[in-house]
């Protein structure tokens, strides 16, 4: 009774996509969607999603909880590393000065990266410490809602 690996991975990816969308994030799956969204005026939180354990156990829960705060970005979006490769590559073009990292978060303001929470700041940390990092960035770059 062998399990088809692709069937298994498709289920894992679907669950990871559904989890972040249920938290209120809009999925960007093309380079054109990324350009249009990240070049908008205001602030955007980009969550670079992945199927790794630290994405599921730390980053996605932190993404869901961090937005329940007095200040938050105008837009919440996600790209999926390893899945929507062109969209992810285009998003990373905005992350000037930061190496590719997934999972990760970027604060984009008026089309320019202002800060990131990179994988090394997520992996091995408690979800609440990532929430606190994100909310500190919200205090610095976002307006009260």
Ranges of the chain with pLDDT below 70: 1-3
Gap between the Cα atoms of 45 and 43, Å rounded = 7
pLDDT at 10: 85
pLDDT at 145: 84
Given the residues 34, 46, 54, 59, select the one marked as catalytic. 54
Given the residues 16, 28, 38, 52, select the one marked as catalytic. 52
SS3 41: coil
pTM of the model: 0.94
Question: Residues 42, 72: contact at Cβ < 8 Å?
Answer: no
Roughly what angle, to the nearest 10 degrees, separates helices 31-38 and 85-94? 30
The label of the residue with tokens 């909310």 reads: 135
Query: What is the distance in angstroms between the CA of the first residue and the CA of the last residue of the chain?
Result: 52
Q: Name the residue ranges covered by the structural domains of the chain.
A: 1-141
The label of the residue with tokens 């960035």 reads: 137
pLDDT at 3: 62
Active site residue 142: no
pLDDT at 139: 98
143 phi and psi, to 5 degrees? -95, 160
Fold of 1-141: Glutaredoxin (3.40.30)
């Amino acid at each position: 009774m062998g399990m088809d690996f692709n069937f298994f991975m498709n289920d894992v990816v679907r669950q990871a996509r559904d989890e972040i969308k249920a938290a209120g994030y809009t999925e960007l799956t093309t380079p054109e969607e990324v350009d249009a969204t990240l070049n908008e005026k205001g602030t955007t939180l980009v969550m670079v999603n992945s199927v790794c354990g630290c994405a599921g156990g730390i980053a996605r829960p932190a993404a869901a909880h961090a937005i329940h705060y007095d200040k938050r970005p105008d837009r919440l979006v996600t790209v999926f590393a390893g899945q929507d490769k062109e969209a992810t590559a285009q998003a990373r073009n905005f992350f000037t000065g930061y190496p590719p990292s997934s999972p990760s978060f970027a604060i984009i303001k008026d089309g320019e990266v202002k800060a990131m929470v990179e994988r090394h700041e997520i992996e091995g940390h408690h979800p609440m410490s990532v929430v606190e990092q994100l909310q500190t960035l919200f205090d610095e770059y976002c307006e009260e809602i």
